């Protein structure tokens, strides 16, 4: 099988997924084109312009299947390189542009929404990493189409739904024997070991983490915390406040570059926490759970599909203080008797390989034959 893979905004989780594809199908011949995860608006609109000229030879080579991320402007790219329209194409949604919480720094996502809508119409099949991602995308398309002034043809959303499936990003095999220690402070004996691993961005709930830590302090919980997310120049100021206010609790603050050290933190922590305002699959939490952590996550987003009620604290977006109290109470209960981490074997390479292969083969079988 000759596979062409296009990733227009190759963020860390997207590259993790690419590695999973290669591991699931090592016998395939892979041609992978990716663009760096910066200049978001330009990446969304500029990828067909760049690839159709700079990578035209690679695009014109014979391929049996095309797999593209949802940030690829597939409709325009197929117009600029018409031969791509003859290749069975799966558009993969790590996220969708309808469900991001807005902040003052963000530009309108309308253009990105339209690009993903046209790309979805141009693709032969659609795959989403969670049911929440799929349903929120379809609902977002419905809202967008309802705002357009006229000449909107009927049945667009049902057409998209008919070719959409849920297909999670697979969990890659964990390191079998993580090294002892690492370039971070040592855990104190008897402390509840907490891990928070998300990007330092507004949609990952830094304010919620701050309030949760305040609630733990008020309850007198003996805990320590490793904060391991990626940092950015324009990260919300609340993360600096967490570092200053709770410095005595921190064994690590900031991105852990060495995979061995990060693996050590995952294996040594008791609980992985999420305070996310948006999460389409929650890979960082899943990786930690696979390493043995107990999840403590909000009762919203994609978490409802993955974790039982006992691991979810009440979601109270209109009452952040109440949500923080609920999360702290769940952590306190877990500290009393640490349960086993959930079984995520269904998300590993072997079972998901079967699903990926079936979907990609069905795409090929549904293509009209030449002549």
Which of 9-13, 148-152, 181-185, 298-302 has the weakest average pLDDT? 181-185
Other beta carbons within 10 Å of 104: 5
Instruction: Supply φ then ψ for residue 296, to 5 degrees.
Output: -130, 105
Distant-in-sequence, close-in-space partners of 365: CB < 8 Å, separation ≥ 6: none
In the β-sheet with 192-196, what is the strand arrangement from edge to edge? 250-253, 223-227, 192-196, 271-273, 294-298, 312-313
For 52, counting Cβ atoms within 10 Å of its Cβ (0-12 exposed, 13-18 middle, 19+ buried), the class is: middle
Q: What is the pLDDT of residue 177?
A: 46
Annotate 21-72 with DSSP letters as a single string: HHHH-TTSEEEEEE--S--HHHHHHHHHHHHHHHTHHHHHS--SEEEEETTS
Q: Give the alpha-carbon dihedral of 54, 58, 59, 65, to 10 degrees.
A: -150
Q: What is the pLDDT of residue 102?
A: 60
For CA atoms 13, 251, 234, 104, the dihedral sign is positive
Strand ranges (E), the chain? 2-7, 29-34, 65-69, 89-93, 125-128, 164-166, 192-196, 223-227, 250-253, 271-273, 294-298, 312-313
Query: Whole-angstrom Cα distance, residue 194 to residue 269?
Result: 6
Q: What is the pLDDT of residue 105?
A: 41
Read off the pLDDT of residues 232-278 as tens digits, 9 standing for 90 and up. 878 899 999 999 999 999 999 999 988 899 999 999 999 999 999 99
Question: What confidence tier does 223 reach under pLDDT thresholds 50, 70, 90?
Answer: very high
The mean pLDDT value of the chain amounts to: 93
Percent of the chain predicted with pLDDT > 90: 86
For CA atoms 211, 215, 220, 222, the dihedral sign is negative
Q: What is the pLDDT of residue 180?
A: 54
| Two tokens, residue 82 | 């018409």
What number of residues does the chain have? Answer: 371
Which of 86-100, 163-177, 197-211, 287-301 has the weakest average pLDDT? 163-177
Q: Name which residue leads in pLDDT, 297 or 179.
A: 297
Query: Whole-angstrom Cα distance, residue 127 to residue 96?
Result: 11
With a cut of 80, say whether residue 168 has pLDDT above it: yes
Planar angle of CA 39, 43, 49, nearest 5 degrees: 135
Three-state DSSP state, 323: helix
Read off the pLDDT of residues 29-77 as tens digits, 9 standing for 90 and up. 999 999 999 999 999 999 999 999 999 999 999 999 999 999 999 999 9
Q: What is the pLDDT of residue 279?
A: 94
Compute the average pLDDT of residues 345-355: 97
| Domain architecture of the chain: domains with CATH | 2-172+349-366 (3.40.50.2000), 192-345 (3.40.50.2000)
Compute the average pLDDT of residues 111-131: 97
With a cut of 50, say whether residue 357 has pLDDT above it: yes
Nearest Cα to 164, choosing from 130, 137, 126? 126
Task: Look up residue 348 and give its DSSP letter.
Answer: B
Q: What is the pLDDT of residue 232?
A: 80
Q: What is the pLDDT of residue 259?
A: 87
Q: What is the pLDDT of residue 133?
A: 98
Q: What is the pLDDT of residue 104?
A: 46
Q: What is the pLDDT of residue 74?
A: 98
With a cut of 50, say whether residue 154 has pLDDT above it: yes
Compute the average pLDDT of residues 283-290: 97
Query: Whole-angstrom Cα distance, residue 315 to residue 307?
Result: 14
With a cut of 80, say whether residue 173 has pLDDT above it: yes
């Amino acid at each position: 099988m000759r596979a062409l893979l296009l990733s227009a905004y190759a963020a860390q989780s997207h590259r993790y997924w690419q590695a999973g594809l290669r591991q699931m199908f090592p016998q395939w011949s892979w041609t992978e084109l990716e663009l760096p995860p910066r200049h978001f608006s330009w990446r969304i609109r500029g990828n067909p312009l760049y690839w159709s000229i700079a990578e035209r030879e690679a695009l014109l080579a014979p391929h049996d299947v095309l797999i593209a991320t949802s940030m690829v402007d597939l409709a325009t790219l197929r117009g600029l390189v018409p031969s791509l329209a003859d290749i069975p194409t799966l558009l993969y949604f790590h996220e969708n542009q309808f469900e991001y919480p807005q902040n003052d720094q963000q530009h309108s996502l309308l253009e990105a929404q339209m690009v993903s809508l046209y790309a979805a119409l141009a693709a032969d099949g659609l795959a989403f990493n969670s049911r929440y991602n799929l349903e929120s995308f379809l609902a977002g398309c419905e809202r967008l189409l309802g705002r357009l002034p006229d000449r909107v043809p009927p049945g667009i959303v049902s057409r998209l739904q008919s070719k959409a499936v849920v297909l999670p990003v697979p969990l890659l095999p964990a390191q079998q024997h993580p090294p002892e220690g690492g370039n971070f402070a040592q855990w104190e004996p008897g402390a509840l070991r907490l891990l928070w691993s998300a990007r330092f961005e507004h949609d990952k709930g830094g304010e919620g983490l701050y309030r949760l830590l305040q609630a733990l302090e008020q309850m007198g919980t003996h805990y320590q915390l490793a904060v391991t997310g990626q940092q950015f120049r324009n990260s919300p100021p609340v993360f600096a406040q967490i570092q200053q206010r709770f410095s005595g609790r921190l064994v690590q603050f900031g991105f852990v570059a060495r995979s061995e050290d990060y693996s050590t933190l995952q294996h040594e922590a008791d609980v992985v926490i999420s305070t996310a305002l948006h999460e389409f699959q929650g890979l960082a939490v899943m990786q930690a759970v696979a390493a043995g952590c107990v999840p403590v996550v909000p009762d919203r987003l994609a978490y409802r599909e993955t974790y039982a009620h006992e691991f979810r604290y009440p979601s109270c977006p209109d009452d952040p203080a109440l949500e923080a109290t609920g999360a702290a109470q769940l952590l306190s209960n877990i500290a009393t008797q640490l349960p086993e981490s959930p079984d995520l074997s269904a998300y590993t390479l072997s079972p998901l390989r079967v699903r990926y292969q079936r979907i990609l083969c069905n795409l090929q079988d549904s293509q009209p034959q030449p002549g």
